[in-house]
Structure 1
Amino acid sequence: MQKFRVLVVDDEVDFLETFVDRLKMRNLDVIGVESGEKALELLDKQNFDVAILDVKMPGMDGIETLREMKRKMPLMEVIMLTGHASVESGIEGMKLGAYDYIMKPADIDELMEKMRQAHEKKSIHEEKIHHARIKELTAHPRRVLDMMKEDEK
């Protein structure tokens, strides 16, 4: 499995620490934070491929955090995680771009598979963007030459 970066956001510190440790044991590059605010601060400094985000948190809740995460990093895939069943928050999260919605306690193997699928989706989107940029540049060779001249300055 290709290694990818994971951000876990959950206000339940014991759960967060245990979950992060279990993901690290599976050779993932993972960081955990206990609030939406801290997650958004971290996104200003670091890139992540997938986020696991608790829905119910004090302060900035998971839905509000999701909205801001997608604004900052639109290609990052977010899996919503909750111990509180709420169809409404699940639907709202999916409308805002969440990749999936999973109930706690989540089976680690199921969650690993969801993360792998989310990372694959992100990689496909990035590849399509890359190919579109190459196609655009090769369609306009003069623009490529102008860009190369700018780089030389």
Structure 2
Amino acid sequence: MHKVVLVIDDENAIKDLIVTLINDEPDYKAVGVESATKALELIESVNFDLIILDLQMPAMDGNEFLEELTKVNPALPVVVLSANLIKLKPHHQVKATIAKPFDIDQLLTVLGKHTA
């Protein structure tokens, strides 16, 4: 059974790269969206094992998304990926942070650790 990962990033190139990297791993399936609003809609219908979240996005940023996620699925683990991690507010669902630009091996290690 595949672990299903939701990648949320408004930068399409980064989102697509992360989705491709995860889908190249044998035990994972990744889905990417470019907004927190679309992500919340998907979470209603898909059982994700992990979210990889960009912190800085237009409309609804990562901190606002985390507040909304708590209402919908308070147990879903989140990895925050951002060039500006200092803006991240403490949140119980954040299991790890990765600074952009990110190291591929670090991303895959965190992925394995938090979907085990």
Q: Same fold judged by TM-score > 0.5?
A: yes
- The residue correspondences of 1:30-69 to structure 2 (distance < 5 A) are 30-69=30-69
Gaps (5+ residues) in structure 2? none
Secondary structure of 1:95's counterpart equals: coil
Contact 2:50 2:78 in 1 (8 A): yes
Residue 112 of structure 1 pairs with residue 111 of structure 2: no
Secondary structure of 2:94's counterpart equals: coil
Residue 24 of structure 1 corresponds to: 23
1 or 2 for the larger relative contact order (CA 8 Å, sep ≥6)? 2
Greater share of strand residues, 1 or 2?
A: 2
Contact 1:78 1:100 in 2 (8 A): yes
Contact 2:9 2:33 in 1 (8 A): yes
Contact 2:23 2:29 in 1 (8 A): yes
Equivalent pairs: percent with the same residue?
A: 35
Secondary structure of 2:45's counterpart equals: coil
Secondary structure of 1:29's counterpart equals: strand
Structure (1 or 2) with the larger CA radius of gyration: 1
Gaps (5+ residues) in structure 1? 121-153
- The residue correspondences of 1:1-153 to structure 2 (distance < 5 A) are 3-27=2-26, 28-83=28-83, 85-87=84-86, 89-90=87-88, 92=89, 94-120=90-116
Contact 1:81 1:103 in 2 (8 A): yes
Count, aligned residues: 115
Q: Post-superposition shift, 1:23?
A: 1.2
Taking structure 1 as the reference length, the TM-score comes to 0.69
Greater share of helix residues, 1 or 2?
A: 1
C-alpha RMSD of the superposition = 1.5
Q: Post-superposition shift, 1:71?
A: 2.2
Q: Post-superposition shift, 1:52?
A: 0.1
Secondary structure of 1:76's counterpart equals: coil
Contact 1:78 1:98 in 2 (8 A): yes
1:88-107 CA distance string (max 9 Å, x none): x23x1x33421111101211
Post-superposition, which runs of at least 4 consecutive aligned residues in structure 1 deviate over 4 A? none
